[in-house]
Structure 1
Amino acid sequence: MTTGPTEQVASSRSTPDGSRADPAASRLAEPGTPAGHGDAAVPEAPAAPAPATRRYAWSGPAWLTRSRLADLLAAAVYLLGALMLTVRGWRDPDGRLLGTRPDDQGFNEWMLAHAAHATTHLKNPFFTTLQNAPEGVNLVANVGMQLTGILLTPVTVLGGPSLSFLLLLTLNLLGTGFAWYWVLSRHLVGSRAAAFVGGLFCAFAPAMVAHSNGHPHITAQWLVPFIVWRIVLLARPGAAVRNGLVLGGLVAAQFYVGLEILFLVALGAAMATIAYVLLRPREALRRAPSALAALGIAGALVLVVTAYPLWMQFAGPQHRVGHPGNPDVYSLKLGSFVAYATESIGGGPNSAKGLSANTTEEASFYGWPVLVLVAVAVAALRRELGVRVLALVGVASGLFALGSTLSWGARKTDIPAPFALINGLPIIDAMVIARFALITTVVIGLLLAFGLDRVTALAKRSDAHVGRPLRVLAGAALAAALLPMLPTPLEAKGRTEVPSFVTSGAWRDHVAEGRTLVPVPVHNMTSIYWGAASLTGFAVPQGYFLGPTSPTDDTGRWGVAPRPTAVLLTAVGAGTRPPTVTGPEREQAVADVRWWKADAVVLPSHPREAELRTVLDACFGPGQRVRDVWVWDVRPLTR
């Protein structure tokens, strides 16, 4: 039921004198519908050139038409932008961590490694005991990425998960920008320049840059434009089955790319539907039967394709409910919408301080000029229903991102905000609420594209004395608004080297497939990086993930409480206790390696290597030197 207003964004374009100018509508409109009023969006046709205008014939290769050249140029710019953002990581994919959230990158590298392992070994991609051994991790309840992981399996196997992660980040930005450009240029606007600007904003807005700090499941939005467009077409008469099947296929694919983004698309569509019903109740009622029929078909297809992972998400082992902590911790502040992000030309290290939870959640940060430009576009296009619907959705989602109370800056107030009305609802309680602003970002990108498209059409219809200054003015306004938002390259730093014992595959002589290798000290991220480097060939204790608080409490929490032996080894490694082991501690160490189903305990180079070896020798007997690590074979104790 969200179809009507969005269609009218494109199909109801009018000329300055109020008449319709949509000659292309005859091939896109519904049968029997007057030109310019069809369900499909129609680009505004350019006005015929004045007789004195000299036209030049295209002299390029036959296959390289002007439109294809424009497509290639747009893709090249998006690719260049993505490479500029990630360039510091490309200098050394295996030796550097890109962005400000290294733990998030580590987990996503492990996810890509596990997807490759599951693909090549035909294992369950939705649940595994290869992390947090032996209890395991519900991967659907974390970031998912099954489809992207499968697609990148050749890269992961041949080049490693760090290369796959960097490639995924880069392709996400390119793919998201070009997908929006494609949908806009083919269905919603007549100007390729307007489509390019819309795609550029949706791909490189602060939200996308911020989530490039370790969240590829959020930046993987290359299916979103096509899903949105198919939602627009839900009510097309006579095409309910086709529209439902196509939409269902796209939604099912996005489910396996990133479930959180799919949920945000659903929330945005729901808000657009409510706005549409409020603004045009009779029209919405007339379109409802066709839309609901197509939606029912789409829903049935999605349920069939996603039944098992949905069960895993809500009832499977190690499922969790909600998100750890108070959701308002992850809220944005009102001031964030007019400020500039940390990784932007107009921002800096302190520009976002106190306005978001961390650098990953800088989902707004548009700056005053962009908001003013969008307000002007909405005012100019206010007669178009679709623009009014988009404006309402953008404002509503922005307000939801503020959390339960309204605050301009870091200081919290008691003024209630709209999120308080939905706080605690199922699924909503698992969201990071700053990400509501991802919906606002898409709305702004679309409104900028629609506004520029209208200006371009007006300039084409005007004589040179008006058209040329109008184009210059529009270009200058866009440049002034967008330039401060342009991203700066993500920072990168060196990572701790994984021992060659792991990277060379020497571990295979000491750990059977699926059994556990225990790194010392037992640290969450050490487990993650070692497991990823082995393409999850062995299980690891603990890890970095969201799971239930306990077997009897499925409330979400980060990780698990460490076993007593893990606490002991961490304390010795930190120098906070002497390297002595009591009888009960040795018995506990044996019980813990049995719990982990360990085959080997491995100590890499460490500042307190001598003290740790003393403890491990006391617990498991003398270790042996293998390549660049010490190994304790605990198989006699655990099998």
Structure 2
Amino acid sequence: MRADAPTAPVELSVVIPAYNEERRLGPTLDAVGRRLDATGSHWGTWEILVADDGSTDATRELVTVRRDPRIRLVTGAGSGNRGKGHALRLGVAASRGRHVLVMDADLATPVEELEHLEKALADGHAAAIGSRAVPGATLGDRQHRIRELLGAAGNLLIRRTTLRGIRDTQCGFKLFEGDKARAAFAASRLNGWAIDVEVLRHFQRVGWPVAEVPVHWSHQPGSKVRPGDYPRMLRDLVRLRIPVPRPADVLVVVLFLAMAVTLCSGRFLDPDHRYLTDSLQDQNQWEWFFAVTADNVAHLRNPLFTDLQGFPDGVNLMANTTMLGLSVPLTPVTLLLGPALALSLVMTLGLAATAVAWYRLIVRRVVRQRGAAFAGAALAAFAPPMVSHANAHPNFVVLFMIPPIIERALRLTSGARVTRDAVVLGLMAAYQFFLGEEPLLLAALGMVLFAVAYAAVRPDVARQAARPLLNGLAIAAAVCLPLVVYPLAWQFSGPQSYAGIDHGTAPGVANSVRALFSFAERSAIAGDAGRADALTLNPTEQNAFYGWPLALLALAITVRLWRQPAVKALACTAVAAALLSLGTRIPLPLTGTTFPGPWSLLAGLPLFESVIESRIALVCAPPLGMLLALAIGGLAQARRLLTQYAGLLAVCLALLPLLPAPLKSEPRAETPAFFTDGAWKTYVRDGETLVPVPLAEPEAAEALHWQTAADLGFRMPGGYFNGPLGEGDRTGVYGVPLRFTASLLRDVRQTGVVPVIDAAARAEAREDLAYWRAGALVLAPQRYEERLRETVDKLVGLPGRRVAGVWVWDLHQGTQEGG
């Protein structure tokens, strides 16, 4: 148990691990104290912490008998020698210094070498380690030759397998920035000598620069490293290469997976026979995307295009959200188990993976407390807008690449290993490009907002980070662009490409202030379907709905933690994204007037012109999650139980109304046997299409499901996808511009009224059927089935036949002029 310690911070903490050091410790404490108190020393306040590791001699008494309160003993619970790593972890955790010096008890490196390490930290490094292996280092008494050879072999192994660019990790004389040292040692798990490697590896992984400084070193008798320790060090190095997850992290993964399964439970257990009620027709579309991608890959066809729907013009798949980054590698799953199961796995596992990715980012960059990170990641991944998109848009909820992209971009700001991190960032961005371009664009917008806000708060940090960040982004772009340039050219200039989609000014295209503070339909406790529907385009686009309790909580967190630069930047990012989501004109509450919104500055720019403004509110979820994590992390460290309980109660009350209910689902309509049993093959020859009655369109796309059930064996006109308006107009639209026959049949489906069919109408129908190269028309059971059958009978001049559960008009029999 640690000894009672003062809480006031100091300039320097010196941590000395000790095990049976009664002979060497006393002179070391005297030497260090004299140096820090010497005339001219700028260490105004300091402390020495001796971290005892179960000594059986008088080591502890050497410390406790001293009258200097700045020299303290730190011990762990229990007894026994657990290793240098365990002792260092205790000592650093108990430190209070703005800087932390870790040194051995033998003074192999004189404390006077500290000034060289100080200079390295002053130059912007987060850690400076004494080294015997870089130019300028000097050696006094040397070790035994065998020990030197073992040490050299160990360093070589470390450099080749674990740490790049560091030649000597075991000198035992290291100076760290205090907060970073405490974070790195808290994250460590090794108890042995390899903890030095583990801590330095942590610094490299999070992008904190480390300087290797030449020092003077002399071998001192009485080394605690024994020959039997080398195999244990090798074992620890293997553990670093193959890390064993913490039990808390494993629990977090299990919980996120359980949350995702619960949310998607309506169709997760039986995806072939269940349909998400609020997905409208998007589930049919997405299953078709996965099916057609797998079919293209299996037959070595171009995965960026197909003419299986929208015939004869086809579909530019790259200009649609087909998620090639998952649909291509999941081709075996789709072919073996079907697109419905593949999509269900993507939605469920993708949600869980996204939450885990946010959790990892928060633990590394925001707060180390696992419970706080879990809460923040849960809000980021399962916020109301994400739940809404989980009905129909996997590209907006499967975002497991976004947190690593943010993490890699943050590494660039440190200036360490810029080229390597930039290359990785470029590859990550290229992969996210094939998962979803619009989420990548929104993530980039959010990162820019955060960067601008943080630069305003900490201009000194921004100036230092700007150069490596910009250099890294240039390298990342050079890596990413060659990988995506051809798909981009196909998307914007290839067959069936389009220039952009105008979503108009319907309610929900831009958020209203009410939408930001109201509750979503799927909020289990406070959901209001009527109000949510009135404020959105549809149930899949409830892009705000964070609720007023969460807004109040975020405001309280921001006010309470305002001194922290990260809090200021996160709060500004969330507010800016919310304002942008209000669109180009923002209404003034309780008045009939509007004023220009900040989105008007971006709305006309390339790429941004197709964004649904309300979706920008999705950017608010991660900053709100991180603010929540910071607040809970702070509460966990609060000394008063009343403060902890009151704070956690406020958090629970704010989050409780946002708990989502499982997505609504219903039994799926049975696919007619005509498609599942292959009866369609009799009526559709090579080069011909099957024409559903009415044609598939965004409002009624069940025919896409019939096509996937028939293993994509036939083509069809119409469909549900994004494409150009046609006739030289590249304006983007949903579905296919309706020809005469398609429009007429759609009107009958909607109204149940059979129109007058005259010779002119039949002539138009013959022209349309020839354009579509139709082999047969097929009418499946549906509302107004009889009216539709009567209409088609009159249009083609042939009576339909009942075949395998559908009505079929075989056009190979010809059509008649008369009725």
TM-score bracket relative to the smaller structure: 0.7 to 0.9
Match of 2:646 among 473, 478, 483: 473
Contact persistence 2:499–2:731 (CA under 8 A): yes
**Maintained 8 Å contact 1:43/1:186:** no
Is 1:593 aligned to residue 769 of structure 2? yes
Residue 402 of structure 1, aligned match among 576, 582, 590: 582
- Deviation sequence 1:469-497 (CA, Å, 0-9, x none): 44333332221111111001221234433
Shift of 1:166: 2.4
1:238–1:179 distance in 2 versus 1, CA, 3 Å: closer
Partner residue in 2 for 1:540? 716
Q: Is residue 450 from structure 1 mapped to residue 630 from structure 2 by the alignment? A: yes
Which structure 2 residues correspond to residues 57-68 of structure 1 after superposition, within 5 A? 68=246
Among 308, 316, 334, the alignment partner of 1:156 is 334
1:205 matched to 2:380? The reply is no
Whether the 8 Å contact between 1:328 and 1:433 is mirrored in structure 2 is: no
2:256 pairs, out of 78, 86, 107, with 78
Residue of structure 2 equivalent to 1:420: 600
Aligned 8 A contact 1:85 1:487 in 2: yes
Shift of 1:514: 6.8
- The answer as to 2:678 corresponding to 1:520 is no
Cα deviation code 1:521-563 (max 9, x no counterpart)? 3242143222233343322211122222223222222222322
Give the AA of the match of 1:218.
Answer: F
Q: Contact 1:100–1:491 (CA<8 Å) still a contact in 2?
A: yes
- Structure 2 counterpart of 1:174: 352
Amino acid at match of 1:553: D
Q: Please list, as runs of the form range in 1=range in 2, the aligned pairs for 1:2-17 lying within 5 A after superposition.
A: none
Shift of 1:509: 4.5
Match of 1:352 in 2: 532
Taking structure 2 as the reference length, the TM-score comes to 0.67
Alignment correspondent of 1:550: 726
Matches of 1:187 and 1:22, distance apart in 2? 20
Write the letter of the residue equivalent to 1:253. Y
- Counterparts of 1:305 and 1:498 in 2: how far apart (Å)? 40
Judging changes above 3 Å, is the alpha-carbon distance between structure 1 residues 562 and 392 closer, same or farther for their aligned structure 2 residues? same
Q: Any idea what the Cα deviations from partners look like across 1:32-55, whole Å, max 9, x if unmatched?
A: 496348999946949xxxxxxxxx
Range with bigger deviation, 414-423 or 621-630: 621-630
Q: 8 Å contact 1:333–1:410 — kept in the other structure?
A: no
CA–CA separation in structure 2 for the residues paired with 1:470 and 1:559: 56
1:228–1:571: structure 2 CA closer, same or farther, 3 Å change rule?
A: closer
Corresponding position: 1:576 with 2:764: no
Which residue number corresponds to residue 47 of structure 2?
none
Match of 2:735 in 1: 559
> For 1:17 and 1:415, how far apart are their aligned partners in 2?
54
1:134 aligns to what SS in structure 2?
coil
Whether 2:313 is the aligned partner of 1:313: answer no
Corresponding letter in the other structure for 1:150: V
Aligned to 1:289: 467
> Within 1, Cα distance between the matches of 2:746 and 2:807?
17
For residues 590 and 609 of structure 2, the distance between their equivalents in structure 1, rounded to whole angstroms, comes to 23
Report the Cα offset of residue 434 of structure 1. Answer: 0.8
Deviations 1:18-69 (A, max 9, x none): 9649899x9x9755496348999946949xxxxxxxxxxxxxxx99999532
**AA aligned opposite 1:518:** V
Gap change, CA 1:526 and 1:339, over 3 Å in 2? closer
Q: After TM superposition, give the deviation of residue 621 of structure 1 in Å.
A: 5.1
Give the letter for the 2:630 counterpart.
F
TM-score for the superposition, normalised by structure 1: 0.85
Aligned counterpart for 1:263 among listed residues 434, 438, 441 = 441
Task: Supply the distance in 2 between the matched residues of 1:160 and 1:38 (Cα, whole angstroms).
Answer: 51
Partner of 2:73: none
Match of 1:129 in 2: 307
Aligned to 1:600, the other structure's residue is in SS state strand
Matched, 1:242 2:415: no
Q: Do the aligned partners of 1:600 and 1:633 also contact (CA within 8 Å) in 2? A: yes
SS in structure 2 of the partner of residue 100 of structure 1: helix
Instruction: Report what 2:660 is aligned to.
Output: 487
What amino acid does structure 2 have at the position aligned with 1:628?
Answer: G
Deviation at 1:274, TM superposition (A): 2.4
Percent identity, aligned pairs only, is 37
Name 1:35's counterpart in structure 2.
176
Q: Closer, same or farther in 2 for the Cα pair 1:41/1:180, shift >3 Å?
A: farther
Q: Alpha-carbon deviation of 1:223?
A: 1.1
Q: 1:611 & 1:339 partners in 2: Cα distance?
A: 42
Extract unaligned runs of 5+ from structure 1. Answer: 1-13, 47-61
2:452 to 271, 274, 285: 274
CA distance in 1, matches of 2:591, 2:781: 45
Q: Distance in 1 between matches of 2:535 and 2:127?
A: 51
351-360 vs 608-617, which deviates more? 608-617
Give the one of 555, 564, 572 matched to 1:375: 555
Shift of 1:609: 4.5
Q: CA deviation at 1:427?
A: 1.2
Q: 1:115 to 1:485 in 2, by over 3 A?
A: same
Equivalent in the alignment of 2:395: 217
Q: Choose between structure 1 and 2 for higher RCO, CA contacts under 8 A separated by at least 6 residues.
A: 1
Is 1:106 paired with 2:106? no
* Post-superposition CA distance 1:259-286 (Å, at most 9, x none): 1111111111222232233334454233
- 2:395 and 2:436 in contact (8 A); partners too: yes
Amino acid at match of 2:442: L
Distance in structure 2 (CA, Å) of the matches to 1:435 and 1:257: 17
Are 1:504 and 2:677 matched, yes or no?
yes
CA contact (8 A) 2:281 2:702 kept: no
User: Secondary structure of the residue that 1:489 maps to in structure 2?
Assistant: coil
Please give the per-residue CA displacement for 1:85-132, whole angstroms capped at 9, x wherever unaligned.
222223542333214132122211211111221221222222222121
Structure 2: distance between partners of 1:357 and 1:610: 31
Change (3 A) 1:359 1:273: same
1:336 and 2:515 correspond: yes
Q: Distance in 2 between matches of 1:632 and 1:358?
A: 36
- CA shift, 1:135, in A, is 1.2
CA RMSD, Structure 1 to Structure 2 (Å) = 3.6
Pick from 430, 436, 447: which aligns with 2:616?
Answer: 436
Structure 1, 495-504 or 429-438: larger mean CA deviation:
495-504
Partner of 1:612: 789
Give 3-state SS (helix, strand or coil) of 1:556's partner.
strand
Change (3 A) 1:506 1:152: farther
Cα distance in 2 for partners of 1:19, 1:560 equals 67
Match of 1:388 among 568, 576, 583: 568
2:754 touches 2:788 (CA, 8 Å); kept in 1?
no
Q: Secondary structure at the match of 2:731?
A: strand
Farther off after superposition, 70-79 or 33-42: 33-42
Task: Give secondary structure in 2 for the equivalent of 1:227.
Answer: helix
Do the aligned partners of residues 70 and 522 (structure 1) sit closer, same or farther apart at CA in structure 2, a change above 3 Å counting?
A: same
Cα offset, 1:412, TM superposition: 6.2
